[in-house]
């Protein structure tokens, strides 16, 4: 049995023939240069790409840093109303002890009404459980992140001979996923590690950041990360800056975002298509 979130995700992938997830990472300077209010800019980006993606991923820090929490709530509500088939992943990377984790889960799923949230698993299972208890929601745990410094800790070898990221994948697949609503974050910048994680977790869906501005390779990602199900890829391929700022300060920024989204979608579907 799949969770409601994962089922919604796969339906969106099939409907739009897309594995692309568009990150919403607003930058006040870029938006002000266009003479737009933040919410107007967000709506134009969302409308431009919605028919060619499988998920939206607003990044909470980009909103909270500019006191735009209401805009975050409003754009998620807008997506739910106008594009109810497309899930919203709140990129928050929350991780704390149980009582605080409960509040973070309320923030993500009740305050912002996200369909899924990213979390940090390095405090252990009890820090994840308040999120996992929302059985109809997705919980996406960091495993092997896309940043250059991720190997500093995530690739350390444990006493049992496994790397730390491999142990996270093992726990995610075999200990933590009682509600079948757990996914992992694996960066496109590390295709070898991605292949290893896929071998550990089976068909579990993976959120793949690092395509676009961070330099992740699409073909290498697909070769390493596709699961065994020909109709359910097991991948959510995320791009933020490479799509939403494709037009930079130009008046046709929304058209440029759509073009960049379509180009990434075509690149993926040249290798694999539903």
Q: Can you tell me whether residue 68 is helix, strand or coil?
A: coil
In this structure, is the dihedral angle defined by the CA atoms of residues 219, 225, 230 and 235, taken in order, positive or negative? negative
**Cβ-based neighbour number of residue 198 at 10 Å:** 22
Q: Which of 4, 44, 73, 93 is catalytic?
A: 93
**Which DSSP string do the residues of 197-229 spell out, in sequence order?**
HHHHHTT--EEE--BSTT-B-HHHHHHHH--S-
Residue 157 burial by Cβ neighbours in a 10 Å radius (0-12, 13-18, 19+): exposed
**Helix 125-132 × helix 98-106 angle, to 10°:** 30
Residue 9 contacts residue 208 (beta carbons within 8 Å): no
Taking the alpha carbons at both ends of the chain, their separation in whole angstroms is 21
93: annotated active-site residue: yes
DSSP state of 89: E
**Cβ-based neighbour number of residue 259 at 10 Å:** 16
* Tokens, residue 225: 């990360």
Query: Which residues belong to the active site?
Result: 93
């Amino acid at each position: 049995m799949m969770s409601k979130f994962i089922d919604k995700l796969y339906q969106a992938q099939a409907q739009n023939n897309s594995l692309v997830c568009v990150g919403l990472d607003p930058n006040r300077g870029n938006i002000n240069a266009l003479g737009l209010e933040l919410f107007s800019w967000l709506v134009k980006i969302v409308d431009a790409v919605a028919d060619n993606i499988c998920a939206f991923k607003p990044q909470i820090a980009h909103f909270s840093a500019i006191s735009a929490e209401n805009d975050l709530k409003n754009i998620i509500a807008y997506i739910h109303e106008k594009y109810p088939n497309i899930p919203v992943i709140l990129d928050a990377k929350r991780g704390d002890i149980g009582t605080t984790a409960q509040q973070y889960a309320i923030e993500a799923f009740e305050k912002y009404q996200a369909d899924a949230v990213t979390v940090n698993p390095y405090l252990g299972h009890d820090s994840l459980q308040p999120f996992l208890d929302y059985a109809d929601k997705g919980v996406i745990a960091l495993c092997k992140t896309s940043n250059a410094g991720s190997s500093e800790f995530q690739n350390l070898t444990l006493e049992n001979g496994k790397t730390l990221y491999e142990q996270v994948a093992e726990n995610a697949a075999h200990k933590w996923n009682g509600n079948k609503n757990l996914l992992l974050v694996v960066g496109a910048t590390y295709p070898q590690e991605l292949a290893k994680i896929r071998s550990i977790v089976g068909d579990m869906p993976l959120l793949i950041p690092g395509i676009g501005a961070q330099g992740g390779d699409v073909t290498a990602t697909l070769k390493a990360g596709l699961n065994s199900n020909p109709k359910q890829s097991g991948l959510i391929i995320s791009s933020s800056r490479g799509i939403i700022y494709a037009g930079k300060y130009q008046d046709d920024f929304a058209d440029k975002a759509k073009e960049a989204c379509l180009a990434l979608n075509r690149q993926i579907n040249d290798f694999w298509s539903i």
